[in-house]
Amino acid sequence: MKKYFLVSLILLGFISAKAQTVSFADLLNITSMNNTQVHDFLLSKGFKQLGTETVNNKLFDEYKSNRTPDKQETLLVGPGVKVPNGNTQRAVSYNTLLGSDLDNLLGQAKKSTLTLIFQGADVNKNIYRFDNSLFRATISITFDKKSGSLDVAQKDGAGN
């Protein structure tokens, strides 16, 4: 009986550790998907497209998770830009009202192929910047851990 209880606790731990709807690797992969692939992928993860939002004069598709309001996740998916090799590049911004989601993503980012190149803070949040030859990602978590964001983009051939 003790074995079953222990196994149940371990499984519960794994389930809660993956509480956010999308992983860090998922967000990296979205940067190179075409519009149809992004839409289908996010729908399969339980997101609903709400419409569009303009950020810095660029039109972003806005998606919200179907989680409870206190665990809401929002994704802004930038316009796909075709690069000379035929691939698509886009910026992706993930926002959540649950600090544990961002803690999970931060842990995944630290274990990824990206390198932590900056760790600091501004007036109201901790900032973590990750980089490699293909991607750059910035994770911001408010000091009270009540909200935060992860912005990820694929670099162009020049490393920008």
Does residue 11 lie in a domain region?
Answer: no
Q: Which tens digit of pLDDT belongs to each residue from 9-48? A: 344 444 444 457 899 999 999 999 989 999 999 999 999 9
Pairing of strands 58-65, 47-55: antiparallel
Q: 127 Cβ partners below 8 Å, 6+ apart?
A: 118, 119, 120, 121, 138, 139, 140
Is residue 7 included in any domain, yes or no? Answer: no
**What is the per-residue pLDDT across 68-101, written as a single tens digit (0 to 9) for each?**
776 789 999 999 888 787 778 899 999 998 888 9
Q: Domain limits at 117?
A: 21-154
Q: Kindly state the DSSP code that residue 79 receives in the 8-state scheme.
A: P
Q: Is residue 159 included in any domain, yes or no?
A: no
Mean pLDDT of the chain: 85
What are phi and psi for residue 9, nearest 5 degrees?
-65, -40
Q: Does 3 map to a domain?
A: no
Q: Which amino acid is at 75?
A: L
User: Does 129 map to a domain?
Assistant: yes
- pTM, full prediction: 0.82
Whether 104 shows a pLDDT value over 80: the answer reads yes
Domain membership of residue 97 (yes or no) is: yes
Q: Is residue 71 part of a domain?
A: yes
> Positive or negative, the Cα torsion across 30, 33, 35, 37?
negative
Structurally, the chain folds into a number of domains equal to: 1
- Residue 1 domain-assigned (yes or no): no
